[in-house]
Amino acid sequence: MASINKHATTLADGRELIYFDDADTRLGPDRAIDGRILDARPHTPTMRQDPLTGEWVSIAADRQNRAFLPPADHDPLAPASPSNPSEIPDDYDVAVFENRSPSFGPALDGANSPLGLADLDELGIGRMRTAIGRCEVVCFSPETVGSFGSQSVSRARTVIEAWADRTEALSALPGIQQVFPFENRGEAIGVTLHHPHGQIYAYPYITPRTRQLIASVERMPELFSQLLAFELESERVVLRGEHWSAFVPFAARWPLEVHMLPHRQVPDLAATSDAERDELAILYRMILRGIDRIYDSQTPDSTTPYIAAWHQAPVASHRNDIRLMLQVTSPRRAADKLKYLAGSEAAMGAWVSDVTPEHAAELVRAGIAAARADS
């Protein structure tokens, strides 16, 4: 979308910072430089292989020092001021920058880096590799509170453009196997900053969840088209547009769980069209606003904790059979109750759901109707 402008610069320690200006922005093109004196960036973490599963675990000890629930006047994601020398030196609409305390990176190569997927697939005791990659923070707004759902349609569209831009750029970096944009919302999820923001991880491997998906599509090559057709015939549909449909999945694990799929095969956000991004800005925002309206008359805190996860195809494989999918999951099972992962789910990965998917869909549709009535 040509009217969403992009300005790239660097922070004082060399990290990349990119501003994305709304189509209807009131900001000028010039941005202040980062005048801080910063410590050197932390060393790239290592990752260790669990021989019981073959999975890799990043050991990122420097993340222990990241900001934890700071007051609004010391918000590290707000535009910088004389009393708050934050990560973003000027006013902005949407800003993306490299995380100062990354789980992967900043190195993209070097000693003991992964030698490709074949190397990572080998199994052994005591195997270690450098956790190369990139972790970025996506700030949805200069405001100190909020979420994706609280943004305007124009701002939501800018965030989507930023996700698509960064997906393409990160996918092109050496050693990157998968790109994952996501938003964590609420302290119940583990959020340590209330500022409206999300993150993007660029992994040096294909994640365990996607590896399971690859096994499924190899057994059922038309999985996504068949899945979408099945769900669209069900009572679990919550929204349907020209390009996207959202539904509570047949085998939902979480009390509140909404999936959204594009109607055509696209592997990631970078492959979506302008028309698909325009509609997504409306529908995705409405889903999140609807989820917030489910319990708003029953509890003082109506905001719903969630993880909004954009599942994308790996960078170099299964581009024609793994489809871009949004999965929004929340542990909130009642106005005053949360679902906690206990023995069966946490230890064995064997889920037990407390809410039927059909009833959850009724709740989400009612919430969306209430949110529409307010807009």
Residues marked active site are found at 197
In the block, residue with structure tokens 């008359």: 297
Using alpha carbons only, give the angle 135, 141, 144 rounded to the nearest 5 degrees: 95
Distance CA 228, CA 260 (A): 9
Q: Which long-range contacts (CB under 8 A, 24 or more apart) does 85-88 make?
A: 85/36, 87/11, 87/137, 88/17, 88/139, 88/142
**φ, ψ (nearest 5 deg) of residue 217:** -70, -25
The string of DSSP letters for 145-200 reads S--GGGS-HHHHHHHHHHHHHHHHHHHTSTT--EEEEEEEESGGGT----SSEEEE
- Please check whether residue 136 is in contact with residue 95, taking contact to mean a CB–CB distance below 8 angstroms: no
Distance CA 144, CA 133 (A): 28
- Please check whether residue 95 is in contact with residue 88, taking contact to mean a CB–CB distance below 8 angstroms: yes
- Please check whether residue 170 is in contact with residue 200, taking contact to mean a CB–CB distance below 8 angstroms: yes
Distance CA 368, CA 375 (A): 11
Three state DSSP letters for 328-362: EEECEEECCEECCCCHHHHHHCCCCCCCCHHHHHH
48 Cβ contact list (under 8 Å, min separation 6)? 56, 57, 59, 126, 127, 128
